[in-house]
């Protein structure tokens, strides 16, 4: 029986939202719910607005970087399309078990604009490589500067580095040993009777390879810009909890807070729960309990999740449109 696509989106949205809300309620209960709600009501509204603006800047800089990367890959898109792609993919990522879950939708939107699927995939991989390199560098810098969660942070960093290294090795082999790909595709064609889907897959693999090589070469001359944009993307989001803390009358705790956010961002890549629901809330509650008064944890986690997660769902849904149907259709 064919499942209604709208029902599937609603079900995924409900599951992710309920898990997140349940985690927030547990944290509020543990940290004194009545006092937590009182603190939420008394928070300085200016810093709530600042926190949301910081997250909105994350969307903006993400769209700018996507527009520049597609241009380097040989395809020009408007900022409007880039912004739509960013928000729509954020929506899908909020419903899938990894922060990387929005990439298929971003690839489809770029393909619908005339870019090959192979080239669009190369752009998406390029985005993730930039993010991953930034996470590793930022983690090393902030662990050293703060001395916070050094043991866990180093362990997480090593695992993440090994995964990134495996991806780099695969991409390197793809670039310098195309004969292996050709032999594999020849074997696949022979085994499947040269079906059209295999030929289409082969064409996209070669397009991905060509786009990835071109993107790598072009990006070398734009490294400062790409590093700057990637830094702005994530620092804006990492500053959201600090803005909320100041709004609640606490110090911003920049070093500890940003170190915690880097750790949470890396954990969010792992395919654990839809939109990292539950994992993000409980993980943040634990990390921030080490340097933030317990009474502030409930309001902080609730407001942080509202701004950085639920806003992605609400705003992203308005931009996702019919593109999501193409991703969810089987």
* pLDDT, tens digit, 9 for 90 and up, residues 140-183: 999 999 988 888 888 888 888 888 888 788 777 777 777 766 77
How many alpha carbons lie under 13 Å from residue 94 in its C-beta half-sphere? 29
Q: What is the distance between the alpha carbons of residues 71 and 87, in angstroms, rounded to a whole number? A: 19
Q: What is the distance between the alpha carbons of residues 195 and 204, in angstroms, rounded to a whole number? A: 15
User: In 3-state terms, what secondary structure has residue 272?
Assistant: coil
Q: Is there a contact between 148 and 156 (Cβ–Cβ < 8 Å)?
A: no
Percent of the chain with pLDDT over 90: 32
Mean pLDDT of 269-280: 76
CA angle 174, 179, 185 (to 5 degrees): 85
Which whole-number Å values give the CA distances from 137 to 129, 130, 141, 154, 259, in the listed order? 12, 11, 6, 12, 12
Q: Is there a contact between 264 and 284 (Cβ–Cβ < 8 Å)?
A: yes
Mean pLDDT of 260-274: 84
Predicted confidence at residue 207, as pLDDT, reads 67
Q: Global pTM?
A: 0.83
Checking 170-179 for CB contacts under 8 A at 24+ apart, the result is 171/125, 171/212, 174/208, 174/209, 174/212, 175/209, 175/212, 175/213, 175/216, 178/209
Least confident of 47-61, 148-162, 251-265: 148-162
Q: Is there a contact between 157 and 262 (Cβ–Cβ < 8 Å)?
A: no
Mean pLDDT of the chain: 81
Predicted confidence at residue 202, as pLDDT, reads 63
92: CB partners within 8 A, 6+ apart: 101, 102, 104, 105, 316, 320, 324, 327
Helix boundaries (H) for 73-149: 79-93, 103-112, 117-146
Predicted confidence at residue 3, as pLDDT, reads 45
Count of C-beta atoms within a 10 Å radius of residue 271: 13
């Amino acid at each position: 029986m064919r499942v209604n696509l709208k029902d599937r989106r609603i079900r995924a949205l409900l599951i992710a939202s309920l898990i997140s809300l349940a985690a927030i309620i547990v944290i509020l209960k543990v940290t004194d719910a009545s006092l937590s709600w009182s603190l939420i009501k008394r928070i300085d509204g200016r810093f709530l607005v600042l926190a949301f603006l910081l997250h909105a800047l994350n969307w903006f800089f993400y769209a700018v970087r996507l527009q520049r990367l597609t241009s380097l890959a040989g395809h020009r898109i408007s900022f409007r399309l880039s912004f739509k792609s960013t928000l729509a993919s954020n929506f899908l990522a909020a419903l899938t078990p990894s922060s990387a879950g929005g990439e298929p939708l971003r690839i489809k939107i770029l393909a619908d604009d005339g870019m090959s699927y192979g080239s669009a995939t190369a752009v998406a991989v390029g985005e993730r490589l930039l993010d991953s390199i930034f996470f590793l560098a930022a983690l090393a810098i902030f662990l050293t500067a703060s001395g916070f969660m050094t043991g866990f942070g180093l362990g997480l960093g090593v695992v993440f580095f090994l995964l990134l290294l495996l991806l780099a090795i695969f991409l390197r082999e793809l670039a310098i040993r195309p004969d292996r790909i050709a032999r594999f595709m020849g074997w696949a064609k022979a085994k499947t009777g040269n079906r059209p889907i295999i030929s289409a897959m082969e064409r996209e693999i070669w397009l991905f390879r060509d786009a990835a090589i071109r993107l790598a070469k072009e990006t070398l001359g734009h490294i400062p810009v790409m590093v700057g944009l990637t830094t702005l993307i994530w620092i804006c989001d990492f500053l959201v909890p600090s803005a909320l803390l100041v709004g609640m009358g606490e110090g911003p705790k920049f070093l500890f807070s940003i170190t915690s956010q880097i750790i949470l961002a890396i954990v969010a890549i792992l395919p654990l729960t839809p939109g990292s629901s539950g994992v993000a809330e409980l993980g943040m509650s634990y990390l921030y309990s080490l340097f933030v008064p317990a009474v502030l944890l409930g309001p902080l986690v609730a407001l942080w999740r509202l701004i950085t997660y639920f806003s992605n769902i609400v705003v992203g849904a308005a931009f996702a449109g019919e593109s999501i149907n193409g991703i969810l259709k089987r």
